[in-house]
Amino acid sequence: MRVAIYPGSFDPATLGHMDVIERACQVFDRLIVAVLVNRAKKPTFTTRERMDFLRRMVRDLPNVEVTSFDGLLADYARQQGAQVIVKGLRGVSDFEYELQMALGNRILNPSVETVFLMSSDKYICLSSSMVKEIAYHGGDISGFVSPQIIPDVMARFAQNAGKNVKQRG
Ligand code: PNS
């Protein structure tokens, strides 16, 4: 059984993330979407919220499960019995960072292989931080996130209006 982990901050998950999930779950028998608890980055959405958003998005994909992890991805992959780490590549700007991570993870856990999947060209310029900026200004995020989570994402920014919004992630 080929088990893959798709890790990320997912703060919040976008249609680009969903595109990678849909591709990966066709290639692997079991896909674990693993949300980084991410204490250092102070995410906009709690771990529980980010997992809940993803669970709503993957409800119709039976071989996908959503978990969270803290610490090193290489250790979590070992613990989950995963042979593969899946990462999405949007373009060359992602590559250098992803190469570093893949090589680091290979040293930490030589039995795990990183596989890159290209998201659809529609999502090449899409990021969670772009979604947050649009939501912060009350814009229409329906082209960027799944319909199941739009009201909750918008509600967070209505609630936060006037406060600072994280720009990266
Ligand atoms: O969605 P992101 O923020 O680009 O995801 C980054 C993530 C979660 C994949 C990365 O930060 C990660 O794996 N963090 C766990 C710590 C770790 O294992 N670092 C890599 C050392 S080589």
- Give the tokens for residue 21: 């999930």
As to burial, measured by CB atoms within 10 angstroms (0-12 exposed, 13-18 middle, 19+ buried), residue 140 is: exposed
pLDDT score, position 168:
46
Based on the residue annotation, tell me whether 128 is a catalytic residue of this protein: yes
Q: Is the CB of 7 under 6 A from ligand 1?
A: yes
Q: What does the pLDDT profile of the chain (169 residues) look like in tens digits?
A: 999 999 999 999 999 999 999 999 999 999 999 999 977 778 999 999 999 999 999 999 999 999 999 999 999 999 999 999 999 998 888 899 999 999 999 999 999 999 999 999 999 999 999 999 999 999 999 999 999 999 999 999 986 555 545 544 4
pLDDT score, position 92:
86
Based on the residue annotation, tell me whether 137 is a catalytic residue of this protein: no
- pTM for the full predicted model: 0.93
The single residue of 9, 50, 87, 90 carrying the catalytic annotation is: 90
Which residue's alpha carbon is nearest to atom 3 within ligand 1?
9
The single residue of 2, 41, 48, 137 carrying the catalytic annotation is: 41
pLDDT score, position 162:
53
What's the distance, CA 46 to chain centroid? 14
Q: How far is CA 29 from CA 85, 87, 105, 148, in A?
A: 13, 16, 22, 25
Based on the residue annotation, tell me whether 17 is a catalytic residue of this protein: yes
pLDDT score, position 136:
95
Which residue's alpha carbon is nearest to atom 4 within ligand 1?
8
Summary count for the chain: helices (H), strands (E) = 6, 5
Query: Which atom of ligand 1 is found nearest the CA of 41?
Result: 3
